[in-house]
Amino acid sequence: MKKFDVLVVGSGAGLEVASFAAERGMSVAVVEEGPLGGTCLNRGCIPSKILIHSADVAETIKKFGIKSKIENIDFAAIVKRVSQVVDGDSSGIEKAIRQGNNPNLYKMRGKFIGPKLMQVGSEQIEADKVFIVGGTRPSIPPIPGLKDTPFLDSTKALRLEKQPEHLVIIGGGYIAAELAHFYGSLGTKVTILVRGNIMLSNEDEEIAQWFTKEFIKKHEILFSTKVSSVSYHDEIFNIGLNDGKKLEADQLLIVTGRIPNTDILNVKATGVETDEKGYIKVNEYLETNVNGVFAFGDIIGILPFRHTANDQVSFAIRNAFTEKKIPVNYFAIGHAVFSSPQVGGVGKTEEELKKEGVSYKVGRAELKDTGMGGALQENGLAKVLADQEGNILGVHIVGPQASVLIHEAIVAMKANGTVSAITDSVYIHPALPEWLQRAFFAI
C-alpha cells in the first residue's frame, strides 16, 4: 500500500487542488480513468461550443438577404478540428503531469475499498486528505431494445464523423437544445422527443415558453411523447412511440440527464453519505461526513457547471489546508444555453419565488423594441425579478448573445445587488445591452 498526503479523484477542476498541494511539498496522487481535463474539456462545454460556432456561422449566412449559398458542409473537418483542439489540450495536461514526480498520475479506474483507501489496478493507495471530484455521466433510460443499438450519447455526438440525414433526439434539456442547433443548422433533419410540453423546463417558465416557440420554427418537436421501443436494422433506427406511431432515423441521440459517478467509484465504501440520486452530500465547507474527505463539482449536484466547480476549488483548498474555514457562496452563479436562440439566467425564477411566497416585481423588455433589434432582425425577451426594495432576485434572457448579456446582471447582483446598478448606468446607444437595461427600467 502506498500512502499520500492528498488523493484527488478526477482531473477536471480537481487538478487545481493537486497542483496547490504538490507545489507546497505534499505528496499527491491523481486518479483519472479517462483523458485528462475533465468533462468540460473532453466531453462537454469546450468541444460542444467549438461545434456550435460552426452552426452559428451557417445560420448567420442564411439571413439578411445576402446572396450566398452553402454548397457543402465538410462535416468531418469540423469534427476533426474539435478533436484536435480537445485531444491536444488533454494530452498536454497529461504530459505536464508525467514530466514531474509529483503529482503521481494513476490513469486508470479507481474504486474505493475503505474510508480513504482506493484500489487502482493492482495497487492500493490511501491519503490523509481525499478530494472526490469524479463528475457525472449520461443517464440512459431503460427503453426496451435501446441497449442493443448503436445509439449516441452526448459524448459520442461530439465525435460523430458522418453527418446524419435524420437525427432523432430523446430529451428536451439544454444538451438537446445545443446539439439540435448544431446538427440542424448544418442541414440535418432533427426531430426532438420531449416527455413534457416545453423545452428547457428548468428555466423560468416564461423564458422556456419563448424559447420553445422559436425553436419549434426550426426543428420538429413532439411533445408529451414517450419512447416505447427502439430497434436497429440495416443502419436505420426504428423508434416506437407511446401513441403507436413509429419514426425512422439514421442516428438516435439520448440526452435525458446525467447521473453521478459515485457508484462506479464505490463511494459507499468510504462511508461518505449520498442522497437519493447518488450525489455526495457536503456541508457549506465542501466537507463530507467523513473527516478529511471533501467533494465538489458535478458529483455533489449543486449548480453542476464547470464555472461552479472552478469557484468551489478555492473554497475546497482553503477549508482543507488552512485553519479558517469559509462557506461556499452560491449567490449569483449564472448559466447559459448556447443554442439558437441563446438563453442566459441567474438567480431565482418566477416559479421559485411564487413557491417560496416571496413578494416580487417583474420588468420585461423585448429586443424588437430596441435599435439593435431591428439591425439584428431578431427578437428576444429580457426579464428581471426584484423585490419591493429593488434588490435583484433573478434575471432571465432568451435571444441573441444572452450568454454574454447575463453577465451584466451577475456583476450587478454581486456588486450592490440592486436594480439601480443597471438603471443608473449610461448605456451606449444603440448597443445590444440597452435591451437588458430596458427590462430593468420596467421594474
Contact residues for 51 (Cβ-Cβ < 8 A; gap 6+): 78, 79, 82, 158, 182
Between CA 190 and CA 179 the distance in angstroms is: 10
3-class SS at 418? strand
Between CA 49 and CA 43 the distance in angstroms is: 11
Catalytic member of 233, 335, 407, 429: 429
Nearest to 262 by CA among 247, 284, 277: 277
Between CA 37 and CA 31 the distance in angstroms is: 12
Which cell goes with 155?
Answer: 459524448
Q: Count other Cβ atoms within 10 Å, centred on residue 68.
A: 8
Query: DSSP H helical segments within 229-370, as ranges?
Result: 306-321, 350-356
Nearest to 344 by CA among 437, 213, 208, 442: 208
Q: What angle do CA 260, 263, 266 make, to 5 degrees?
A: 130
Which cell goes with 288?
Answer: 463530507
Between CA 417 and CA 389 the distance in angstroms is: 11
> Is 396 an active-site residue?
no
Catalytic residues, which ones? 429
